[in-house]
Amino acid sequence: AQSVTQLDSHVSVSEGTPVLLRCNYSSSYSPSLFWYVQHPNKGLQLLLKYTSAATLVKGINGFEAEFKKSETSFHLTKPSAHMSDAAEYFCVVRFGGATNKLIFGTGTLLAVQP
């Protein structure tokens, strides 16, 4: 079965410390992987995407993610959290084959403490 799992529903970090948001997927196809961010009462903004090019992907606002096929993971990281990073983050997968729809993870709510 094709699925995406975000391992943490809530993550809390202090401002200036590293951020790690974890995502694993299962698929028999080669997936395209995305991270979207949703600020309160806002739409979904694309942070970064992996589409079978470089395994280390750099996105906006200092975020990056590494695709590890052997671990079926696509964890999102940032070296130093900022207060404005507080939001909900969705790991999203588009599997190959006949379908082109996105499958969302359940989201990780990131809190940044001063």
Partner 1 sequence: AAGVIQSPRHLIKEKRETATLKCYPIPRHDTVYWYQQGPGQDPQFLISFYEKMQSDKGSIPDRFSAQQFSDYHSELNMSSLELGDSALYFCASSLGGRNTIYFGEGSWLTVV
Q: Which of residues 58-97 bind partner 1 (CB under 8 A)?
A: 90, 94
Which is closer to partner 1, CB of 70 or CB of 100?
100
Q: What 8-state DSSP symbol labels residue 4?
A: E
Of the candidates 40, 43, 53, 56, which one interacts with partner 1 according to CB under 8 A? Answer: 43
101 binds partner 1 (CB under 8 A): yes
Interface stretch with partner 1, choices 18-26, 36-44, 67-75, 76-84 (CB under 8 A): 36-44
Of 58, 45, 49, nearest to 87 (Cα)? 45
> What letter represents residue 52's amino acid?
S
Tell me if 108 sits within 8 A of 9, measured CB to CB: yes
For 10, the enclosing helix (H) or strand (E) is strand 10-14
**Residues near partner 1, by CB under 8 A:** 32, 34, 36, 42-46, 49, 51, 90, 94, 99-107
